[in-house]
Structure 1
Amino acid sequence: MRYFYTTLALALTTAISAPAFAQDNNALNYNVLNIQAEASREISNDEMTAVLYIEKSNKQPAQLASEINQLMTQAINTAKKYSQIKFETGSQSTYPVYDNDNRKVKEWRGRAEIRLESKDFKAASQLISELQQNFQTQSINFNVSDSQRKKVENELMVEASKNFQQRAQSLAQAWNKSSYQLININLNTNSYSNRPVPLMAIMKAASADVIPEQEVASGESQITVNANGSIQLK
């Protein structure tokens, strides 16, 4: 008998709570609109990154390693002269090269990288020219630095939020509603970069053993903040 009363009380509680939950859920989904707004800005790329590499071959792996290490040390010492440039060694590998029958090791080949990063484009261009006496350029890219990107994104978040509010207010007026209530909002950032690379100009200057004194075209990046969410008209 005790079990019967307990079950009945639970059933009554469920029956009373369900309509209240359904009522709140319906109220939340009544006069709800999904809105999207954005804010964007084009800013100049203020950071240059480059990857240079050296590749050598030798029949003796020990001699190959010694030669590559010597050239890498020379490159690091050269880079140290430029205090405005950050640099680090990249990946390094040594592997065998076989003959046509793939049975006998013909020689050993080694590869090593050095990576550069700087906001001083002129200094970076000069360093690349010096390093290209022994190194080859794998890539040169321009982008917005982290500090500049965060600053602009914070400003665009505020701007996108205001655009969202203006759009919400306009829609409320269009639907003859006096106000609205924000349900949720998401802010997302993305960017598109236009990064021309002055690689040929740098390589031509390097081949003539002249450190280039030139202005590079870093291009611009477009940073966009999207604001999307839901409001309820009142």
Structure 2
Amino acid sequence: MKRVKGFITSGILLLVSALPAQAAESTKPEQQVSFSVQVSRQVERDMMQVVLYAQQSGKTLKEVSPIVTQKLNLAVEEAKKRQIQTGMTNRRTNISYDKQGKASGWIDYGEITLESQDFTALSDLIASVSEQLAVQNIRFTLSDQKKQSLEKQMTEEALQAFKQKAELISQNLQTKGYQIANLDLGSPSDLGVDSQPVYYERKAVFSSSEAPSMQVESGLADLKIQLNATIYLKND
């Protein structure tokens, strides 16, 4: 039993004595390099968003509110026919005052948002309800499907660009490869940024008699994705 115990003890001593040598090897300095790569793309916005509004004034809310509701419902009905998405964005009532500052009645105001990738159908809808609702603004953005697709494609491109640049640095500095220390990859910028909204006066500028449909330009979105990296260059 004593011999066995002595063998185990000596083995532990050997391991401990070997640790300083291993620690010395692990502390050998390595070259560290930080750099960034960027991928950019210009794409056409594929989603059109329109805000229509109705406003009515009168002596009582009972008089004005049904009129505004009827006009907003008309937009909903027309949107359903064309499979256009709708959403209420704002509905408010305010007291109106006369020149002497006395309450003289009520103002009812309501907005509805319409959204579609079918620009022609949405333009036709605007014309069809132009006698009842006016255009508050029109803007263009990217659909969720296009956002997801672009983010996947641009992320793959950014990672490929990182790999090529890391290998180029390693080759030119004549090292034996590299090891990733840190990667910081952001999401494509401007994916959710709309083009500048186009505002219109209260009058129905898209009346059915003047313009049965309007021609629209969605514009282009400039997308960028940046990857910041730090690598260690292998010397052996």
TM-score, normalized by length of structure 2?
Answer: 0.77
Say which SS state the counterpart of residue 206 (structure 1) adopts.
Answer: coil
Query: Does structure 1 retain, via aligned residues, the 8 Å contact 2:130–2:206?
Result: no
Q: 1:230 to 1:23 in 2, by over 3 A?
A: farther
Q: 1:208 to 1:232 in 2, by over 3 A?
A: same
The one-letter code of the counterpart of 1:56 is Q
**Aligned ranges 1:7-26 → 2 under 5 Å:** none
> In the alignment, what sits opposite 2:85?
86
Q: Which whole-Å deviations, capped at 9, do the CAs of 1:81-123 have from their partners, x for residues lacking one?
A: 212x111222100011234454x31221111011111111000
Query: Does structure 2 retain, via aligned residues, the 8 Å contact 1:60–1:108?
Result: yes
Q: 1:108 to 1:170 in 2, by over 3 A?
A: same
Structure 1 CA distance, aligned partners of 2:159 and 2:35? 11
CA offset at residue 216 of structure 1? 2.3
CA offset at residue 227 of structure 1? 0.9
Q: 1:199 to 1:65 in 2, by over 3 A?
A: closer
Consecutive unaligned residues of structure 1, counting only runs of 5 or more, are 1-18
Bigger drift between 46-55 and 164-173 goes to: 164-173
Select the residue among 109, 112, 126 that pairs with 2:110: 112
> In the alignment, what sits opposite 2:123?
125
Structure 2 CA distance, aligned partners of 1:77 and 1:207? 17
Q: 1:127 to 1:231 in 2, by over 3 A?
A: same
Say which SS state the counterpart of residue 107 (structure 2) adopts.
Answer: strand
> In the alignment, what sits opposite 1:177?
175
Q: Does 1:144 align with 2:145?
A: no
Aligned residues: 209
Structure 1 CA distance, aligned partners of 2:25 and 2:186? 30
Query: Does structure 1 retain, via aligned residues, the 8 Å contact 2:139–2:198?
Result: no
TM-score, normalized by length of structure 1?
Answer: 0.78
Say which SS state the counterpart of residue 127 (structure 2) adopts.
Answer: helix
CA offset at residue 170 of structure 1? 1.6
CA offset at residue 127 of structure 1? 0.4
Structure 1 CA distance, aligned partners of 2:190 and 2:140? 13
> In the alignment, what sits opposite 1:14?
none
Q: Does 1:211 align with 2:216?
A: no
CA offset at residue 45 of structure 1? 1.1
CA offset at residue 204 of structure 1? 4.7
Say which SS state the counterpart of residue 177 (structure 1) adopts.
Answer: coil
**Aligned ranges 1:91-106 → 2 under 5 Å:** 91-100=90-99, 102=101, 104-106=102-104
> In the alignment, what sits opposite 2:158?
160
Q: 1:99 to 1:205 in 2, by over 3 A?
A: closer
Query: Does structure 2 retain, via aligned residues, the 8 Å contact 1:198–1:217?
Result: no
Query: Does structure 2 retain, via aligned residues, the 8 Å contact 1:191–1:223?
Result: yes
> In the alignment, what sits opposite 1:68?
68
Consecutive unaligned residues of structure 2, counting only runs of 5 or more, are 1-19
RMSD, matched Cα = 2.9
Structure 2 CA distance, aligned partners of 1:126 and 1:107? 35
Query: Does structure 2 retain, via aligned residues, the 8 Å contact 1:45–1:143?
Result: yes
CA offset at residue 176 of structure 1? 2.6
Say which SS state the counterpart of residue 81 (structure 2) adopts.
Answer: coil
Q: Which whole-Å deviations, capped at 9, do the CAs of 1:140-185 have from their partners, x for residues lacking one?
A: 1111111011111101101101111111122223323221100111
Structure 2 CA distance, aligned partners of 1:68 and 1:216? 28
CA offset at residue 208 of structure 1? 2.8
Q: 1:77 to 1:23 in 2, by over 3 A?
A: farther
The one-letter code of the counterpart of 2:94 is Y
The one-letter code of the counterpart of 1:44 is E
Query: Does structure 2 retain, via aligned residues, the 8 Å contact 1:196–1:219?
Result: no
Structure 2 CA distance, aligned partners of 1:25 and 1:113? 67
> In the alignment, what sits opposite 2:220?
220
Report runs of 4+ in structure 1 exceeding 4 Å deviation.
22-27, 196-200
> In the alignment, what sits opposite 1:51?
51
